[in-house]
Amino acid sequence: MSPAEDRQARLSARNGWLLSAPALVILTIAAIGPLLIVLVYSFLTPGDYGNVVWEFSWNGWKSVFVEEDIFEGTLSLADAHLTIFWRSLSLSILTTVLTFLVGFPTAWWIATKPPKARAFWLFLITLPFWTNILVRTFAINQIIRNEGVLNSLLIWAGVIDSPIQLTYTPTALLIGMVYVYLPLMVLPLFAAIDRFDMRLLEAGYDLYASRWQVLRRIILPIVKPGIIAGSILVLVPCLGAYVTPRILGGGKMMMLGNFIELQFGQGRNWPLGAALSIVLLVIVTAALLIYVRALSGEKRHG
Amino acid sequence: MADVTIEARNTIKAFGQGAQAVRALDDVSIQINRGEFFTLLGPSGCGKTTLLRLIAGFEMPTSGQILLDGADITDLPPNRRPVNTVFQSYALFPHLTVAENVGFGLTMQGRPKAEVAATVAHMLALVKLEAMANRKTSQLSGGQQQRVALARALAPKPKVLLLDEPLSALDLKLRKEMQVELKRLQTETGITFVFVTHDQEEALTMSDRIGVMSAGKLQQVGSPKDIYTRPVNRFVAGFIGETNFLPATGGAGGAKLGCGAVIDGVAANGAVTLTIRPEQVRLTAAAEPGAIPATVTLLVYFGTDTHLHLALPDGASIVARVQSPATGEAGLAQGQQVGLRFAPGAVQVLED
Ligand SMILES: Nc1ncnc2c1ncn2[C@@H]1O[C@H](COP(=O)(O)OP(=O)(O)OP(=O)(O)O)[C@@H](O)[C@H]1O
Ligand SMILES: [Mg+2]
């Protein structure tokens, strides 16, 4: 490197740090600080009326995974907790898959509209964000309950004789989550498809690819960054979802977010709540790592 | 009878509805022979791309048929036509390497891996890109991308290769190189090429036959020499190369120009337009008997050639192309009086 280049590189590095300093300070105080507190709390002893006693204990972490029988003192796997983990994970993954299946054709359709119409449809997609999530979730509940719009319509159309019990079932939860998180899938997909060169489709057909092969060999690999971004944007908040499972699950379908809240409330077990929060964080981080890995894999090729 | 590969029969393609409908192709019939380098030439918007897209199957004709080896393929989708396209934008797959791009068609046809690899290697050698096999297409120069697009379209050995202005994005020097390259590839593979351009020089140098189009209609089909020396109408004459148009009146003795000079051996009746190429206009001494007198109004120097703009006695103007004078030799000057003669048989009568 010539001295001039060297100076320029150093200058731009210094400017970079200066420019990002405000963000770094806020992130440190607002994210890492509380996180450390949570980490410390997870190793303390629960207080009698909530809060913690400053006494080291492994119990918070132990009870994440194992249960101690009070009478016999034997340890067994915490089935209830694992069920909640599993439910959170499976429902979140299912939600992600469903939002993709619904969101991809939607995003494609919008991206192939003339520019003016596109803005309109994107506006409609983001419209639910303008309403409080609580209101939206109650609205879903109104639609799917036994006397709700959905069941009335189906009965009227003669598809079913008696209403389907949807409220407080995993299906209800799934419907609600797909509804709430759909825009987060559609927007990054739209951005990726918008950049997709439609002329490649003709090149694909010209080279003997069927419609399905064009989708699998050309469209999906090229819009992959959008798929990954959308999936992460849906999966991460799903894992920590709180309001939707609370209302649509009616307390029966507890997910991680609700379970954590329970520990800080009625459960009065802050260390367990703190440990669970960190488990959630680890799951989310793992998901993000997969994302970064997939993206850098993309980079390595070109 | 010639061996026809691809044929369009009375194809009409209209875009839009009702009053706004545009006939991009207006009753075009064309037969392209096996193994020939056929060029579609015409100004922008004359329907060249539309004809190519009909052959490729990207568009359906409003009426008419497309035939391949005598079989009607009008209703076949593009992925079931043994016809490949080199797109003007190249349309290379950005997520695949050069080799994967070239092998794409073969893979989609379900050929065995070993065969695909062998063909890809052969194709890359043919376009001299062996060293680039594992690069992403975004890391290639324009000329290299062009070659990948060619190799990709040639790899499945199509019966017809369609090329839509493949060279227009390249700079002049590269374009000349690729012209030679294309011609070589066509000879080596023996595949029928249908090449689209609006560059008449490109068309003349590369083609076995040329189809000249204008406003959705096929004006003339013929060898480059045919088209250049025997244009059927004013459009073709004006579009291919430079030419002079002279109004004249036909009669028994020949055609009489506005200035009174009579050109023998031209069979025409009534008011006609004559055309003569600038290089067929011969200069003589001003006083030579039988020569048409003219005045030099402008000299345009082109290196080996010089274009002389000349005024005839009645004010009509005509351009002559002559060899530039050798170094040290005195040339013509503006305002000089000269005589003109037309090479025998060089004057064509045009229907308008
Ligand atoms: N999809 C379409 N919808 C409406 N009109 C079209 C469409 N495609 C082509 N046209 C019209 O058909 C005519 C012929 O177009 P075409 O693209 O075939 O011209 P071209 O000869 O390839 O021109 P260029 O040299 O500019 O590429 C034009 O008037 C064009 O506006
Ligand atoms: Mg075109």
Per-residue pLDDT of B62-94, as tens digits, reads 999 999 998 999 999 999 999 999 998 899 999
Is residue B69 helix, strand or coil?
coil
Q: Quick check: B105 and A202 CB within 8 A?
A: no
The shortest C-alpha distance from A216 to chain B (Å) reads 12
Tell me the CA distances in angstroms from B135 to A112, A300, B101, B105, B224, one per residue in order.
31, 11, 10, 18, 39
**In the predicted model, is pLDDT for residue A221 greater than 70?**
yes
The pTM (predicted TM-score) of the whole model is 0.82
**Residue nearest atom 20 of ligand 1, based on CA coordinates:** B45
**In the predicted model, is pLDDT for residue A182 greater than 60?**
yes
Q: Which amino acid is at A210?
A: S
Q: For testing the chain B interface, which of A195, A199, A207 should be mutated: the one with the most B CBs within 10 Å?
A: A207
pLDDT band (50, 70, 90) for residue A297: low
**In the predicted model, is pLDDT for residue B184 greater than 50?**
yes
User: Token pair 């004559």 is at which residue?
Assistant: B274
Q: Quick check: A203 and B93 CB within 8 A?
A: yes
Domain coordinates in residue numbering, chain A: 1-41, 78-300
Percent of chain B scoring above 70 in pLDDT: 98
Closest CA to A46 of A61, A67, A31: A61
Q: Rounded to whole angstroms, how far apart are CA atoms B78 and A199?
A: 14
Q: Quick check: B80 and A208 CB within 8 A?
A: yes
Q: Quick check: A207 and B152 CB within 8 A?
A: yes
Q: Quick check: A202 and B139 CB within 8 A?
A: no
Lowest mean pLDDT among A42-46, A64-68, B79-83: A64-68
Determine the pLDDT at residue B121: 94
**In the predicted model, is pLDDT for residue A287 greater than 60?**
yes
Q: Residue B2 burial by CB count (10 A; 0-12/13-18/19+): exposed, middle or buried?
A: exposed
**In the predicted model, is pLDDT for residue A167 greater than 70?**
yes
Determine the pLDDT at residue B99: 94
Lowest mean pLDDT among A75-84, A132-141, B80-89, B293-302: A75-84
Q: Rounded to whole angstroms, how far apart are CA atoms A268 and A266?
A: 5
User: Which of the ligands is closest to the CA of residue B16?
Assistant: 1
**Contact, B244 vs B278, CB < 8 A?**
yes
Mean pLDDT, residues A221-241: 91
Determine the pLDDT at residue A302: 39
Residue B143, H or E segment:
helix B142-154
Using CA coordinates, name the residue in chain B closest to A199: B91
The interaxial angle of helices A133-144 and A149-156, nearest 10 deg, is 30
**Contact, A89 vs A83, CB < 8 A?**
no
**Contact, B322 vs B308, CB < 8 A?**
yes
Determine the pLDDT at residue B213: 93
pLDDT tens-digit series, residues B221-265: 999 999 998 888 889 988 888 888 888 887 777 777 777 777 777
Mean pLDDT, residues B25-38: 92
Ligand 1 pocket list (CB less than 6 A): B 15-16, 22, 24, 42, 44-50, 198
Mean pLDDT, residues A170-178: 91
Q: Which amino acid is at B272?
A: V
Mean pLDDT, residues B210-215: 92
What is the predicted ipTM?
A: 0.83
Residue to mutate, B17, B46, B162, B213, ligand 1, most ligand atoms under 8 Å from C-beta: B46
Return the CATH superfamily for domain A78-300. MetI-like (1.10.3720.10)
Q: For testing the chain B interface, which of A208, A214, A222 should be mutated: the one with the most B CBs within 10 Å?
A: A208
CA of B229 to the centre of ligand 1 (A): 29
pLDDT band (50, 70, 90) for residue B106: very high
**In the predicted model, is pLDDT for residue A200 greater than 90?**
yes
CA of B280 to the centre of ligand 2 (A): 33
Tell me the CA distances in angstroms from B286 to A67, B232, B324, B336, B338, one per residue in order.
119, 33, 19, 9, 4
Mean pLDDT, residues A269-290: 89
Q: Quick check: A208 and B77 CB within 8 A?
A: no
Mean pLDDT, residues A177-184: 93
Mean pLDDT, residues A150-157: 89
pLDDT band (50, 70, 90) for residue A2: confident
**Residue nearest atom 12 of ligand 1, based on CA coordinates:** B24
**Contact, A13 vs A246, CB < 8 A?**
no
Of B80, B87, B156, the CB nearest to A203: B87
pLDDT tens-digit series, residues B298-345: 888 888 888 889 888 888 888 988 888 776 666 777 888 888 888 777
Percent of chain A scoring above 90 in pLDDT: 39
**Residue nearest atom 2 of ligand 1, based on CA coordinates:** B15
pLDDT band (50, 70, 90) for residue B352: low
**In the predicted model, is pLDDT for residue A301 greater than 60?**
no
Tell me the pLDDT of chain B averaged across its residues: 88
Tell me the pLDDT of chain A averaged across its residues: 88
Determine the pLDDT at residue A295: 67
**In the predicted model, is pLDDT for residue B2 greater than 70?**
no
Q: Which amino acid is at B187?
A: T
Using CA coordinates, name the residue in chain B closest to A302: B136
Q: Using beta carbons and an 8 Å cutoff, which residues of A are at the interface with B?
A: 197, 199-200, 202-210, 213, 217-218, 221-222, 301-302
Q: How many CB pairs under 8 A join A and B?
A: 69
User: Which of the ligands is closest to the CA of residue B23?
Assistant: 1
